Chain A
């Protein structure tokens, strides 16, 4: 009896490459590996056609194919009998498959070099387990059971945990508390040990990391261009994206090696360098993107449809909370050290370096430069959000200016790179510049041009 297709959908993005066998019209067999199958519905799968290869040619001559897939957790094998039906070159399915390919292509420096030519839709005629593929487990095999990332066999417990995180999000009194509480709770209650929250930066075409949990370095300030990688693609498409990113990257890097002359450098993406599973959900208020929540794991197949649904619910709450807290002031303690600091503003890209090291750019950089200049010029240390909003030179938008997010980013970057210059809250809508070192300010029009000092 055929196994329902939706029971093996986890095999379609497996760790071990799946195998597809086809035959030409004359009966000459061809066998190769496929990076992934795409589940279309209970009776159909789609193959991604990026290069018009022998498999694609054979399917158009002789529509029957066999595919062998492997469960990423148990490694049980299944054989599918397929019959090619049609190719799609546009529409929702094509866009979804294309978006996944484009995300990894952009990350691996191959944007525009290869693309999805068609989604080849196949009817699934039969699904069978491969008996005897694995020998029965021995006691030694069973002594080390496979760990799932989140225990999910207790619906009441799941709901209770969702209620807890919902309460904590709702009670957060400022954005920093929201970010810290959310990521901590996701880790403590659900085992999401590597999480990142990013917000759109001032360029409008990339995200900047605002908070993270579970990394050696917090990565605050690291940027991800829209459309690049799982995170960038989720932002651009404004929909959740879940991917076995380790497998995908290995597959795309294999292609990259064959296209040595046509590619650009790989784009470094914040997060685990050896992540196997990744999920990113856009944080949306209405249609406006206010951020991205990303979750990743070193374990293959660690993130499932359940995680996607769960993180999307949490993401919706975070998005609403970010909107709610966008004008509330916070306070952050930081260590004091005495030293001398040299700040340099590169005016061509509104970028500040401190002691020769990149610190921050765009609007947060303009804010920092404004307050540091006032401090140097007048000895001033007290400032208000209102005066920042009224200063056209900062380039804040008239509504939804995300000033609070920008100040958090600035505080965190200072705390990380230059802890003897701090911005601390001094009341609602006010902040104080605390400087415990000598500072010098230099402006350059670009990296090679000295303007004044």
Chain B
């Protein structure tokens, strides 16, 4: 049985070979435990107003509690999400209540990137990265 949770931020390294995914501690207990046993990670990112989506696959390098210096990054990501969700009808007063902090910082490799936008090209590999 796979395990999943909604992330609250992602930062891809400039060389595209690694990424840091932020997970709310409040909702990630099960996923945190699963990552202790399985190191394989899949992350999907979407823009809800257009459904444009990509999926990253990689291997776990480490999990740690995010540092205070990273909170601004997570908050900025969340602020953009709130605006995006408002554009499709979800009021800010609701979406701004999503838990984002404290967060785990999940460090992963980026081994493959896939087009995940709905349609015939969904699942198509976009590029070879980190190789």
Q: Which residue numbers of A lie inside 8 Å of B, CB to CB?
A: 15-17, 19, 21-23, 27-33, 35, 51, 53-54, 64-66, 68, 72, 74-75, 77, 79, 81, 114, 130-137, 140-141, 144, 146, 246-247, 250-251, 253-259, 276, 298-300
Verify B90–A134 contact, CB threshold 8 A: no
Residues of A within 8 Å of B97, CB to CB, are: 75, 134-137, 141
Q: Identify B2's interface contact among A21, A134, A246, A247, CB under 8 A.
A: A21
Verify A133–B117 contact, CB threshold 8 A: no
User: What are 23 residue pairs bridging A and B, where the CB atoms are less than 8 Å apart in the complex?
Assistant: A15-B90, A16-B88, A27-B40, A28-B40, A29-B41, A32-B55, A51-B120, A64-B2, A68-B5, A68-B6, A72-B90, A75-B94, A75-B97, A81-B1, A131-B26, A132-B24, A132-B26, A132-B99, A134-B94, A135-B97, A140-B93, A141-B97, A250-B51
- Give me the 3 closest cross-chain CB pairs, A-B, nearest first: A132-B26, A258-B119, A254-B51
- Smallest distance from the beta carbon of A258 to chain B beta carbons, Å? 3
Per-residue 0/1 for B22-51: is the Cβ within 8 Å of any A Cβ (1 yes, 0 no)?
Answer: 001011000000000010111110101111
Q: Identify A53's interface contact among B42, B44, B85, B123, CB under 8 A.
A: B123
Verify B4–A66 contact, CB threshold 8 A: yes
Question: Which residue of B is nearest A20, CB measured?
Answer: B4
Residues of B within 8 Å of A17, CB to CB, are: 46, 48, 51
The reply on B14 being an interface residue by CB < 8 A is no
The reply on B128 being an interface residue by CB < 8 A is no
With A15-B90, A32-B122, A299-B89 in contact, do A75 and B2 touch (Cβ < 8 Å)?
no
> Knowing that A21-B4, A254-B52 are A-B contacts, what are 11 other residue pairs whose CB atoms are under 8 Å apart, sorted by A's residue number?
A15-B90, A27-B40, A32-B53, A66-B4, A77-B6, A133-B24, A141-B94, A144-B93, A247-B88, A250-B88, A300-B88
Q: Which residue numbers of B lie inside 8 Å of A, CB to CB?
A: 1-6, 24, 26-27, 38, 40-44, 46, 48-53, 55, 57, 85, 88-91, 93-95, 97-99, 116-123
- Smallest distance from the beta carbon of A82 to chain B beta carbons, Å? 9
Residues of A within 8 Å of B118, CB to CB, are: 33, 35, 251, 254-255, 258
- Smallest distance from the beta carbon of B98 to chain A beta carbons, Å? 6
Residues of A within 8 Å of B41, CB to CB, are: 29
Residues of A within 8 Å of B93, CB to CB, are: 140-141, 144
Residues of A within 8 Å of B27, CB to CB, are: 77, 130-133
With A19-B44, A30-B42, A276-B89 in contact, do A254 and B50 touch (Cβ < 8 Å)?
yes
Residues of A within 8 Å of B4, CB to CB, are: 19, 21, 31, 66, 68, 79
Q: Identify A75's interface contact among B1, B5, B95, CB under 8 A.
A: B95
Residues of A within 8 Å of B122, CB to CB, are: 32, 51, 53, 258
Verify A75–B90 contact, CB threshold 8 A: yes
Verify A66–B3 contact, CB threshold 8 A: yes
Question: Which residue of B is nearest A247, CB measured?
Answer: B88
The CB with the most chain B CB atoms within 10 A, among A65, A134, A146, A298, is that of: A134
- Smallest distance from the beta carbon of A77 to chain B beta carbons, Å? 7
Q: Report how far A114 CA is from B5 CA in the complex, Å.
A: 30
Verify A257–B42 contact, CB threshold 8 A: no
Verify A15–B52 contact, CB threshold 8 A: no
Question: Which residue of B is nearest A26, CB measured?
Answer: B40
Question: Which residue of B is nearest A276, CB measured?
Answer: B89
- Smallest distance from the beta carbon of B126 to chain A beta carbons, Å? 13
Q: Identify A134's interface contact among B85, B99, B121, CB under 8 A.
A: B99
Residues of B within 8 Å of A144, CB to CB, are: 91, 93
Q: Identify A250's interface contact among B1, B44, B50, B120, CB under 8 A.
A: B50
With A66-B1, A68-B4, A75-B94 in contact, do A51 and B119 touch (Cβ < 8 Å)?
yes
Residues of A within 8 Å of B116, CB to CB, are: 32-33
Q: Report how far A300 CA is from B117 CA in the complex, Å.
A: 22
Q: Report how far A35 CA is from B116 CA in the complex, Å.
A: 13
Verify A31–B123 contact, CB threshold 8 A: no
Verify A30–B55 contact, CB threshold 8 A: yes
Residues of A within 8 Å of B119, CB to CB, are: 51, 114, 254-259
Q: Report how far A136 CA is from B52 CA in the complex, Å.
A: 31
Q: Identify A21's interface contact among B42, B90, B123, CB under 8 A.
A: B42
- Smallest distance from the beta carbon of A44 to chain B beta carbons, Å? 18
Verify B99–A15 contact, CB threshold 8 A: no
With A51-B122, A68-B4 in contact, do A251 and B51 touch (Cβ < 8 Å)?
yes
Verify A246–B99 contact, CB threshold 8 A: no
Verify A16–B44 contact, CB threshold 8 A: no
Verify B53–A300 contact, CB threshold 8 A: no
- Smallest distance from the beta carbon of B104 to chain A beta carbons, Å? 13
Q: Identify A33's interface contact among B5, B53, B85, B98, CB under 8 A.
A: B53
Verify B50–A258 contact, CB threshold 8 A: no
Q: Report how far A35 CA is from B120 CA in the complex, Å.
A: 15
Residues of B within 8 Å of A16, CB to CB, are: 48, 85, 88, 90
